[in-house]
Structure 1
Amino acid sequence: TTRGMLIRLDDDVLSLKPSAVVMLMGTNDLEEGATPGVIAGNVKLIVAKLKKHNPQMPIVLCNVFPSSATKKRPADKIKQINALYQAVVKGDPQITVVDTWTLFADEKGDAKKPEFPDLLHPNAAGYRKWRLALLPIFATLKLTETAADDFKLEEGYRSLFNGRDLTGWGYRPTTEQMLKARANWHRRDPNAPPWPVVKKAVAFDGKTVT
């Protein structure tokens, strides 16, 4: 639970002098009857202790995984927790949030059995998917070694930026396929960020700002 993690933080985490911390917590609290507000409050205290310990240490906060109401972890409560987590860390450059709820949730907001056989714990496939979501973040934070980029431009390559203005750039109208994807996204998560819709093409030719 988040309460247990708060109690054990000094001995089990900070004493190890970590170079970074990845956090995934909150689901067990629901089974014990804790409210989303209490859970988020504990996470806020944990984050504060981590930041006090090392103001430069990267903190990666994973959204609570989906589960099931049959496990006393209904989707609406988990979404409330994740929304509160976002509010707790909003605008904090030391913290990176990973949307591991959307990564694993089905259309009802529950865990998928092929990845969570007991609707609670990920299996090998689930852990593999989680790992692949974290690796780019670790690379960005320089927590892992990355291979040298040997990318070479193709013959005849022409830059889309002319060095003067935004000629050639602009907005394309939102396609029907994208509109359907937008509707599905917001249906699955009412707290999802806005998805702008472009009705008419807009060209930035000759402009230096939009």
Structure 2
Amino acid sequence: MTLRHSAALILSALAASAATAASTLPLYVGQPLAGAKVLYGDFDVQKTLDGDNGRMDDDPKLKNAVVEARRTNKDAAGDALGLAWKDAWFSTLRVESAPLDLRPYLARGTVSFDLKVNELAKGGLNFRIDCGNNCERKVPDVIPARAAEGKGWQHRSYALSCFYRKGDDFSAVTKPFALDGTGAGNVEIANIRIDMAGKPNQACPDYRTASVTPSPLNESWSLDWWMPRHEEKLAEIARRKAAGERTELVFIGDSITHHWEKEQPELFKTFYGRYSALDLGYGGDRTENVLWRLQHGEIDGIAPKVAVLMIGTNNTGFRQEAPELIYAGIKRDIAEIRKRLPKTKLLLLAIFPRGEKPDDTLRVLNEKVNAMLPRLADNKHVFFLNMNKAFLAADGTLSKDIMPDLLHPNAEGYKIWQREMQPELDRLMR
């Protein structure tokens, strides 16, 4: 069978599927889609909204967290849903149904809803559609959602393709829509539907270029500190330059790097004080956030002997991004560092292991990226080091004695990092 023949068969099957699919899927229009139910909760615990009100405050992992769901009114009694949350870094209100084939809707379809933001000064939203087992796609909405606070009901419509990535299987979707809250907030939503041929009124990021498009980290939990930290780092660089202090070592990365300074300052000083090391790690950063910082002065005015870069685990954690796209983001960051620090040797680290077991979904993604990273090392200016085995038991499991949340090292984890990296750092410093 030729490639052209195969493609024709696929298109024919999709066309036949589209011909038999309903023009509209009313996920929650006055009531849930037939056979569907509404759930609410936090990351670990979700409950079914059986009555008019529901409250979740019994998650043992989040003792102060409260998530409340309710049936509320837009045009008629009980035709809308409300979600209020506090002290829960993640909350959700979602529709769960029998398997739905959304493939006929992907080409020109939309997901739309009416949204009312009552309170969101300390929060943000994500809109999500799951695409199979351990597969989810979301569109973030923080700045626009905050701007909508107190302005009543607003209609939102996104192209369904905003929630699609190449290779996704939308043939049996059981979680066709979720509203996820971060920080704290109170919102209402109504008329959630998927249309075969709708008209979107909202834009979404292009997933193919997100990792290489410079951007600040605009998350509900980062807006208060991310840009001030950037300004503080610029001021520190200016102070060092004015005082004639030489920065011989710089660390660039996300929270795993940030926590050297935030959680283990004495260890950081003990291990790297002799280099007048500068910590440019920011919690939550992805490759595009590092790129923005590099382009806005964070390594200008210094000339370190060595720069250590580790980035990418939040690309997997937040977007479940394809390995080749994360690789492209890391490659772009390296190019920017080399452009601004041409005499500095760059030590690129493999993304650290996460998740308890080797088959953890996000660890598997990270390891696929790590397998590609040696291509970026020329062993003249850019060098690659993979120390991940030092963090793992013989069976590949990750211990909470080293990384209590199975992502961020504690003091013992940072000591392993220093021990494993020091020989290479010594060599590059020479």
Change (3 A) 1:78 1:69: farther
Contact 1:31–1:73 under 8 Å retained in 2: no
C-alpha change, 1:50 and 1:115, in structure 2 (3 Å) is same
Whether 1:111 and 2:398 are equivalent positions in the alignment is yes
Give matches, 1:1-210, under 5 Å: 1-11=286-296, 13-19=298-304, 20-33=306-319, 34-68=321-355, 74-89=362-377, 91-107=378-394, 109-142=396-429
State the shift of 1:30 in Å: 0.6
Letter in 2 for 1:8: R
Moved more, 78-87 or 12-21: 12-21
In the alignment, structure 1 segments of 5+ residues that lack a partner are: 144-210
**Which letter does structure 2 place at the counterpart of 1:77?**
L
Higher mean C-alpha deviation, range 111-120 or range 4-13: 4-13
Asked whether the equivalents of residues 22 and 60 of structure 1 are also in contact (C-alpha less than 8 Å), the reply is: yes
**Structure 2 CA distance for partners of 1:69 and 1:136, relative to 1, 3 Å:** closer
Other structure's SS at 2:300 match: helix
Task: Determine what percentage of the aligned residue pairs are the same residue.
Answer: 25
Q: Residues 18 and 10 (structure 1 numbering): CA distance in 2 closer, same or farther, change over 3 Å?
A: farther
Q: Quickly say closer, same or farther: Cα 1:108–1:8, change in 2 above 3 A.
A: farther
Determine the C-alpha separation between the residues in 2 that align with 1:14 and 1:83.
Answer: 28
Instruction: Kindly state the Cα deviation for residue 98 of structure 1 after the two structures are TM-superposed.
Output: 1.6
Output the CA distance in 2 between the equivalents of 1:74 and 1:106: 18
The root-mean-square deviation of aligned C-alpha atoms, in Å, is 2.2
SS at match of 1:133: helix
Normalised by the size of structure 2, how large is the TM-score?
0.31
1:74-101 Cα distance to aligned partner (Å, 9 max, x none): 3321110101111233x34211212122
CA contact (8 A) 1:24 1:63 kept: yes
CA drift of 1:5 comes to 0.7
- Shifted more, 27-36 versus 73-82: the winner is 73-82
Any conservation in 1 of the 2:354–2:406 contact (CA below 8 Å)? yes
Give 1:83's aligned amino acid: A
- 8 A Cα contact 1:66 1:109, kept in partner: no
- Residue by residue over 1:37-72, the C-alpha shift from the partner in whole angstroms, topping out at 9 and shown as x without a partner, is 1111011111111112232211011101100179x7
Deviations, residues 166-196 of structure 1 (Å, cap 9, x unaligned): xxxxxxxxxxxxxxxxxxxxxxxxxxxxxxx
Q: 1:139 to 1:55 in 2, by over 3 A?
A: same
The range that moved more, 45-54 or 72-81, is 72-81
Per-residue deviation, 1:13: 3.0
Higher relative contact order (CA closer than 8 Å, sequence separation 6+) = 1
Structure number having the greater strand percentage: 2
User: CA separation of 1:125/1:37 partners in 2, compared to 1, >3 Å: closer, same or farther?
Assistant: same
- Cα distance in 2 for partners of 1:142, 1:21 equals 10
Runs of 5+ unmatched residues, structure 2 = 1-285
* Count of matched residue pairs: 141
Q: Deviations over 1:117-145 (max 9, x none)?
A: 110100000001101122212211226xx
The structure with the largest helix share of the pair is: 1
Higher Cα radius of gyration? 2
- 8 A contact 1:111–1:120 mirrored in 2: no
Output the CA distance in 2 between the equivalents of 1:86 and 1:109: 21
CA contact (8 A) 2:354 2:363 kept: yes
| Secondary structure of 1:97 counterpart | strand
Is contact 1:67–1:73 with CA below 8 Å preserved after alignment? no
